[in-house]
Structure 1
Amino acid sequence: MSIRVENLIKEYGAQKAVNDISLTVRPGEIVGFLGPNGAGKSTTMKIATGYLLPTDGTIEVNGFDVRTSPMDVRRSVGYLPEHNPLYLDMYVTEFLRFAGALHGLGGRDLSGRIAEIIERVGLGREQHKRIGQLSKGYRQRVGLAQALLHNPPVLILDEPTTGLDPNQLAEIREVIREAGRDKTVLFSTHIMQEVEAICDRVVIINRGQIVADSPLNQLRASAAASDVVVVAEFADELANPDLLRALPGVQQFEPLGSGQYRIAANASVDLRAAIFRLAADQQLTLVGLRQQENSLEGIFKELTK
């Protein structure tokens, strides 16, 4: 029930959209697949579902190779693409019945499964509407419902929470978390809170190459060991801001305006104490001093800049 990617390459002419990446997503694991636009996320996911063929390398899904057993791969996968393709003239239940029939489901089994999935993704009040009448958020729910309908062992979700309001986000997070108990889940998102809320592991891809692959807590720990960032705020702009730049261990210095300065230093340096002593020695009025946490967003920016 895993996804195994080995030395995957996808070329479009002279451009390598995916450049020799390898990763494994194991059963019961929820992996966040992150990267800036054009990094290769959607291309990798499309290859994993059999929508595209790789230029080189292999992907196995649930033990099936996408080249040699594409239909077995498709039976094993529940896929929600980035641009959710739906038949807008169909009713919600009609569309799900159609999607279920494509997977060989029918009769009472399909009716029961549709009712269960509609309840799980929160489509109860909308199930008798045409899909074209639904908001973008509810259309995303329909797409997620069809991905879950045939109870696949592997879920590949490309931006599954696009268009959802905060309440809907919480509900769909829980659906994905629940699915991850007995399925392999790979999903992409630009919402860092989503990753922090539900992911076991983070894979970051940039310019077609993997730049990070580790459990979320280890990724934060490695970033925390690298540097410390402090924002110091003074009552007025400093006449000589180079005093801050010259503090021992300072690696980066950035004036932010209105008397604020962003300073990065090695984690071994007690930067806040040094700034406080400088203010006292120079008789500067220090009105604010805060240390920025190494958030996932900051780590992402650093790895993909």
Structure 2
Amino acid sequence: MGVTATTVTSPAPSASARHYLVVPLLAILWGFNWPAVRVILDEIPPWTLRTLGLSLAGAVLLLVALTRGQALAVPRRHWPRLLLAGTLSITAFNILLAFAQLSAPTSRAVIVTFTMPLWAVLFARPILGERLNRSQSIGLALGAAGLVALGWPLLVSGAWSVGLAYALLAGMAWALGTVMTKRAPVDASPLVFTGWQLMAGAVCAGFGMLLFEGAAMPRLPSPGVLAALAYHVLLSQALAYVLWFATVARLPAGTASLGTLMVPAVGVFGAVLILGERPTLTDWAGLALMLAAAASVLPLAQMRLLSPRTGESNGV
């Protein structure tokens, strides 16, 4: 489940209809990745899953960069910046989300995780010196209401799960990585920047796999899990990233970013359809409030928090 950091290029002057159609396609690829990852976690432990997914996605992006004639080298002085952003937005984000889905319903985890743009706005205040405007203040208020709608009934009933705390921390890690990328940008193309971040995340996940899970899968996964794994690593990771870069090069940043708001809705729908989860009324209220909150702040965050050639995607 990799909501992973990616870089975006400056929008080109024109875009065809197919570029706009890719936006909902990406929402579907990333949204259905949430239930797919939950299926995988029934048989493949989280560190192993992240090692497989991140390494393949990173290799694909670097290969695509090579085929486009882009140099894979990153200035030595920028590697600490790249690794810091990757640790927050790739490694911590993905690992925390894997454990979140092991400990909480997927539908709730995806809603809580999409507090990401709200945390980005908050972190931008002390780190980048950006002040909150009216739309951001409204967005933060809606986001707080969404968290209350989700969390208060669980606290009262004693059903609060540590998985939701993992999801919240994952959203915060993603947001902090976003802001730090703006504060200390990396001199590399978007594909190369993200490819190396993913590979660095895969190395970290690999160490975790060796330490906590061992080097090899104990047995061949079932056909259903293999299908979900193929979807995760080939479609929601590798293909989605390539589509993302091809699309944001043509579309305005705000348009592409608003498309990611469909991801939690698709994720919740996928959890209902595939996993048989039944979100409560407060879950739906929390989802509506979170979508409204993100819609209030995300385009502005995309344009102000991130440089014209740097942004982040939200696939898990």
TM-score bin (small chain): under 0.3
Please state which structure has a larger fraction of its residues in helix: 2
What TM-score comes out, normalization by structure 2 length?
0.27
Please state which structure has a larger fraction of its residues in strand: 1
Please tell me whether Structure 1 or Structure 2 has the larger radius of gyration of its CA atoms.
1
